[in-house]
Structure 1
Amino acid sequence: MIPVEEARARILAALSPVGVETVALSESLGRVLAQPVTARRLQPPKDLSAMDGYALRFEDIGTLPVTLSVIAEVPAGGSFEETVPAGACVRIFTGGPLPDGTDTIVIQENTDADEAAGTVTILEGSPEGRHVRRAGLDFAPGDILVDTGKRLGARDIGLAAAGNVPWVTVYRKPRVAILSTGDEIALPGDPIGPNQIVSSNGPALAAAVTAAGGVPTLMPIAPDDAESLQALARNAAGHDLLLTTGGASVGKHDLVGSALAETGLELDFWKIAMRPGKPLMFGSFAGMPMLGLPGNPVSALVCFLLFGRPALTRLAGASNTGVTFTPARLGSALPENDRREDYLRADLHRDESGHLIATPTQRQDSSMMSTLSQAGGLVRRLPHAPAAEAGATVDVLVFPDGF
């Protein structure tokens, strides 16, 4: 058995990003940039007012109060194309461009306007340049707005739009074939024999792949027959990753490793020192990366979270492929751990002081999907971790959105 970190490192080292494509900015949410987004304009394009008030010459408000002539009005999107002379000003609104000859904004609350006379009295001044957004304050043409490897969020899309960028070059979404194995499983809604169970792994993994930014293909269930398993695996050709579930252990009917080895599986490793998920398998099948997940539902999803999701992140071109743990306080005591790295389903909540509290569920059986669904994350216990009392600090993997 190899350690968890080594297994993840070996998986990531064997993968490289998939191809690229150009998509409309409006369709780019969650995609990973393959080329940087660079600004195509100056922002702001001119000196703009940050407040409603009056644009004037700073030298005209050296002595207060002072009354100035109001010679124009400049809303956002408007302009005054003449130079403002000494002793005059313009009424200006937030986002309006400063006319030539002005350099300072006095907010309207510090003035007394006489619209009939066309004047305004400045009662309280402003420092020179106050409330002015200078041209190029945010960015200039050619500036990198969002760099390669970033997964685009709403803020990034807004920034690219502000830079007048309508299209972006991103990595293609990884295509993932999901192959569940076993005579004992049937799809939800299908006739179920007296000794069969409903397959939850396929639908759950397809959803997890989608949430991680991939495109899943849910293949037919492979029976415990070498030829059928080989044929279905070959049908996965053209995908960027093959995920199998079940058949990875050492039983008589666990055929994934042996059957696929006959038709091109090059095994990198099999079995890792963790719980749940010991019989994890990774290799290459017909030139396609293959990750063999355990058949137990909880084990399959926990292994996907720890290994499959980072693999998809690498294939999608993202720069951050690590697994992030958050410190929390134990809500109940835990015994000493054995030689395997342990991942315990846990309820998460905040106490009155704002501390994250993680309370492992009492039963951790790897077939119990109900406890995984109700949990907020996983408490990680390193090999040979000593007994821990309630209140001790532990690492928690908080479940990401969509998991």
Structure 2
Amino acid sequence: MTAMRSVDEALAEITRAAQPLSPETVAIGDAADRVLAADVVAAITQPPFRASAMDGYAIRSPDAAPGARLHVIGVSAAGSPFRGRVGPSQAVRIYTGAVAPDGADRILVQEEALVENDCVVIAVPQTGGTNIREAGIDFSVGAVLKRRGARLSAIDLGLIASSNVSTVSVSRRPLVAYFDNGDELVEPGAALEEGRIVGSNRFALEALVAAWGGSPRYLGRAADDPREVRRKFAEAAGADVVVAVGGASVGDHDYVRRAFEDAGGKIAFTKVSVKPGKPTWFGRLDGACVIGLPGNPASSIVCAILFVKPLIAGLLGESARGGAICASLSAPTKENGARESYLRGQLIGDRTGRLMVTPFVKEDSSLMTPLALGNCLIRRPANAPAAAAGEVVDCIPYGAIAAGGAE
């Protein structure tokens, strides 16, 4: 059935088709922003030994009385532990991160000690903590540090490395082949003849695909010729995802869907009840998921955020796939029509943690400025009534949320 879908129906159909790709093993130094295909399990306990949290002296609690004079019998430094045992009226000079020697159960901070030849005198009462980090207070061997489906951050890489794990299993990056279509398109910097426009969509799409975890491959531009468009689908062989930009409407020169079916593709749906982006379509071709995006720049990018991003997340097996967050409108919006709409807006968080969103007035599907100035899409359900300032709406972030100064 190829009838028009709602946004939720289209998303459900696309995500059902997105089965996680095969895993590959990479070094942790190459794993930033990759999605785990298997849990990461700690190979060691961390810290692996009792360690001093301060520079000072390792002592016994029974000796920790003000004025006590302790004989310093050795030194424990990071990487060079003291091999003996601390006995009564004894101390070991110790440095931060060094192994706490046997027999010692607290660290006398050096600022609270007086040094007299080969002895140390406790200068103040020892009433606080022990200043010793016990083994395993961070994690123990066998602990699951990161779950399958997690996207690895820089901090995650440090955590995994600290557990003595050198490689991780991650999902293969989906190969996303894409092309744009239209006789009217020219490259940036070219002389513009009357009726021509700059083809900008592919530059945004390439960066978005890479940021979402895919491996983008531009197939070039297809003229408004069915044979040339079909050739692009043939050149996409081996890709996990194919994105056709433009030629998605029903005009006499919009050949893309026809060429897709001529190439053996199976259409799942031909339209989505969404504004902007009604001509968005989806199908399968030789095992690849194929999405057709409108040619208008704002429509193309909005629908890439709505549909291509979740498709890539599904192929990666990503557990946290984003989605809508709530924010209060800073300005009213008018009533919505029969299609679910996505207004461009700017999310700002104030010092209290409250999120406010400002919708942009200009919403034409050819306009790039509102997208560039904004950082989110404001969802307006089909036939939604006008919304007043202060009303809570759903927003899909696509950029960093700005920090406001108001309280």
Superposition TM-score tier, normalisation by shorter sequence: over 0.9
The match for 1:194 is: 194
**1:182-261 alignment runs, 5 A limit:** 182-190=182-190, 192-261=192-261
Separation of aligned partners in 2, 1:111 and 1:125: 11
Alpha-carbon shift at residue 397 of structure 1 (Å)? 1.8
Q: Which secondary structure state, in structure 1, belongs to the residue aligned with residue 96 of structure 2?
A: coil
Q: Which secondary structure state, in structure 2, belongs to the residue aligned with residue 257 of structure 1?
A: helix
- Asked if 1:85 is matched to 2:84, the reply is no
Separation of aligned partners in 2, 1:368 and 1:292: 20
Separation of aligned partners in 1, 2:118 and 2:209: 69
- The one-letter code matched in structure 1 to 2:149 is G
- Asked if 1:333 is matched to 2:332, the reply is yes
The match for 2:405 is: none
Q: Is the 8 A contact 1:180 1:245 kept in 2?
A: yes
- Asked if 1:33 is matched to 2:36, the reply is yes
The match for 2:269 is: 269
- The one-letter code matched in structure 2 to 1:107 is V
Alpha-carbon shift at residue 191 of structure 1 (Å)? 5.4
**1:1-400 alignment runs, 5 A limit:** 1-61=4-64, 63-114=65-116, 116-126=117-127, 130-190=130-190, 192-321=192-321, 323-350=322-349, 355-400=354-399
Q: Is the 8 A contact 1:113 1:121 kept in 2?
A: no
Q: Which secondary structure state, in structure 2, belongs to the residue aligned with residue 314 of structure 1?
A: helix
Counterparts in 2 of 1:187 and 1:286: CA distance versus 1, 3 Å: farther
Counterparts in 2 of 1:256 and 1:389: CA distance versus 1, 3 Å: same
Q: Is the 8 A contact 2:345 2:377 kept in 1?
A: yes
Separation of aligned partners in 2, 1:19 and 1:155: 25
Separation of aligned partners in 1, 2:353 and 2:163: 39
Q: Is the 8 A contact 1:106 1:126 kept in 2?
A: no
Q: Is the 8 A contact 1:179 1:245 kept in 2?
A: yes
Quick check: 136-145 or 344-353, which moved more?
A: 344-353
Structure 2: unaligned runs, 5 residues or longer: 402-407
Alpha-carbon shift at residue 110 of structure 1 (Å)? 2.8
Q: RMSD of the TM alignment (CA)?
A: 2.0
Residue by residue over 1:10-39, the C-alpha shift from the partner in whole angstroms, topping out at 9 and shown as x without a partner, is: 101111122222222111101111122222
Give the structure-1-normalised TM-score.
0.93
Separation of aligned partners in 2, 1:92 and 1:136: 20
Q: Is the 8 A contact 1:211 1:401 kept in 2?
A: no
Counterparts in 2 of 1:67 and 1:352: CA distance versus 1, 3 Å: closer
Separation of aligned partners in 2, 1:19 and 1:130: 49
Separation of aligned partners in 2, 1:151 and 1:353: 28
Counterparts in 2 of 1:58 and 1:341: CA distance versus 1, 3 Å: same
Alpha-carbon shift at residue 8 of structure 1 (Å)? 0.8
- The one-letter code matched in structure 2 to 1:112 is L
Counterparts in 2 of 1:183 and 1:117: CA distance versus 1, 3 Å: closer
- The one-letter code matched in structure 2 to 1:236 is A
Residue by residue over 1:250-287, the C-alpha shift from the partner in whole angstroms, topping out at 9 and shown as x without a partner, is: 22222222221122111111211111111110110222
Alpha-carbon shift at residue 175 of structure 1 (Å)? 0.8
Alpha-carbon shift at residue 354 of structure 1 (Å)? 5.6
